[in-house]
Structure 1
Amino acid sequence: MSVRHALLALLSEGPKYGLRLRQEFEERTGEVWPLNTGQVYTTVQRLERDGLVESDPDDTVEGPQKLFQITEAGAQELDVWLRTPPPADAPPRDELVIKVLVGLRLPGVDVRDVLQTHRRHTIAQMKQYTRLKEDAADDLSLLLVADAQLFRLESVVRWLDAAEGRLKHHAPVAPAAPADAAPSTRTRRLRGATR
């Protein structure tokens, strides 16, 4: 998540002090991603350095009482960020996928058991977010965060199901080739798919 752009969005509503930016950021994100005051000021100082934010020229106080406002360049940057899809250059590193891939080549590891353990944990998380939605019926920010998490967790369960199905139809994976070996055809295909 881009804290930088979230702070620009908050400043697009009007000038604000750093402590107010932190408070509004947490309120609007359902208080799921805490933000410390130091991170707010470091980020706002970088935005100011980049000409996207300016402090009140009449305000000589540094720190929590300094008032910040968005510049025209900052408003343009915010607009571009809001309308630009995130890059999809390569699949993100996913710890669960890495665990399964590594587990496939480790002697004595039952990858199906690894999949089931993660499925149980993921379903338990889904139940927690479902309860959270029931308890937060009036909090739109929290409802949207819970929905996003539920959809993400649902996709994890679907991937676990697909992985288990593939395991049923494939022979066990042989140990990995030495590190100095040339890239396999599979590796070349994966690299090509991300370009």
Structure 2
Amino acid sequence: MSVRHALLALLSEGPKYGLQLRQEFEARTGEVWPLNVGQVYTTVQRLERDGLVVSDDAEEPGSQKSYRITEAGGEELRAWLATPPAADVPPRDELVIKVLVALRVPGVRVTAILQAHRKHLIETMSRYARLKEEAGPDDVGLLLVADAELFRLEATVRWLDAADARLRHLQPAEGAAAERTAEAAR
């Protein structure tokens, strides 16, 4: 996710100071992506350096510096919103890597690993479903985040099921022998 562009989007609504940007970012993202206020100020300083925002340079001691988006910042934001995320290379997925590595680890029951991860994902899906039930109808940001996570988790569970079926189909005898060896070693 681009914090840089999210801050530009918030500033497109009007001038804001750093702490306000952090609070609004967290509120808009359903409070599931906490943002360090230091990261906000570092990012805003880079945006200012790049000419995408300007500050009011508050001169009074203790007063907060307010930032506003420039025309160039608005153009950058619109270009980012219109550009689809890169999907040409599969992302590094820790779960996929674990499964691929586990295939070569002696004594490891890959099907047990798949089932353990599946169970965890189903439990996480239940928590998001409860979160949706408890959310108010006006909490659109939280509902959209919960929906996105549910769909992502569901896709991962489907992949685990497909991987389990593929491994059982392709290596039924080898898998059964490995499971017997693993149990005998215990």
Q: TM-score, normalised by structure 2?
A: 0.88
Cα distance in 2 between the residues matched to 1:96 and 1:19: 36
Q: Structure 1 residues 86, 62: closer, same or farther in 2, change over 3 A?
A: farther
Of all paired residues, the percent bearing the same amino acid is 72
SS of the equivalent of 2:68 reads strand
Distance 1:62-1:6 versus aligned 2 partners, 3 A rule:
farther
2:49 counterpart of 1:42: no
CA deviation after TM superposition for structure 1 residue 47, in Å:
0.3
Q: Which residue of structure 1 lines up, in the alignment, with residue 75 of structure 2?
A: 76
Distance 1:15 1:133 in 2: 32
Q: Post-superposition shift, 1:89?
A: 2.9
Give how far 1:169 is off: 2.2
C-alpha root-mean-square deviation of aligned residues, in Å? 1.6
CA contact (8 A) 1:18 1:64 kept: no
The number of residue pairs the alignment matches comes to: 172
Whether the 8 Å contact between 1:19 and 1:64 is mirrored in structure 2 is no
Q: 4+ residue runs of structure 1 moved beyond 2 angstroms?
A: 59-64
- Structure 2 distance, partners of 1:88, 1:63, is 46
Task: Show the counterpart of 1:3.
Answer: 3
In structure 2, the residue matched to 1:122 is 121
1:170 is aligned to 170
Distance 1:119 1:20 in 2: 39
Corresponding residue for residue 181 of structure 1: none
Greater share of helix residues, 1 or 2? Answer: 2
1:29 equivalenced with 2:63 (yes/no):
no
In the superposition, relative to structure 1, how do residues 77 and 112 fare at CA in structure 2: closer, same or farther (>3 Å)? Answer: same
Judged with a 3 Å threshold, the aligned counterparts in structure 2 of structure 1 residues 103 and 62 are, in CA distance, closer, same or farther, namely farther
Where does the alignment leave 5 or more consecutive residues of structure 2 unmatched?
176-186
SS of residue matched to 1:164: helix
Gaps of 5+ in 1: 174-195
CA contact (8 A) 1:22 1:36 kept: yes
